[in-house]
Amino acid sequence: RKEVEQDPGPFNVPEGATVAFNCTYSNSASQSFFWYRQDCRKEPKLLMSVYSSGNEDGRFTAQLNRASQYISLLIRDSKLSDSATYLCVVLRFSGGYNKLIFGAGTRLAVHP
> Residue 108, CB half-sphere, CA atoms under 13 Å: how many?
28
* Strand pairing report for 11-14 and 60-65: unpaired
User: Of 19-27, 52-60, 63-71, 98-106, which segment contacts other proteins by CB under 8 A?
Assistant: 98-106
User: Measuring CA to CA, which residue among 49, 69, 70 is closest to residue 61?
Assistant: 49
The site for other proteins, by CB under 8 A, has a size of 23
User: Binding mask 44-83 vs other proteins (x if CB under 8 A, - otherwise)?
Assistant: xxx--x----------------------------------
Residues that bind other proteins (CB under 8 A): 31-32, 34, 41-46, 49, 87, 91, 93, 95-100, 102-105
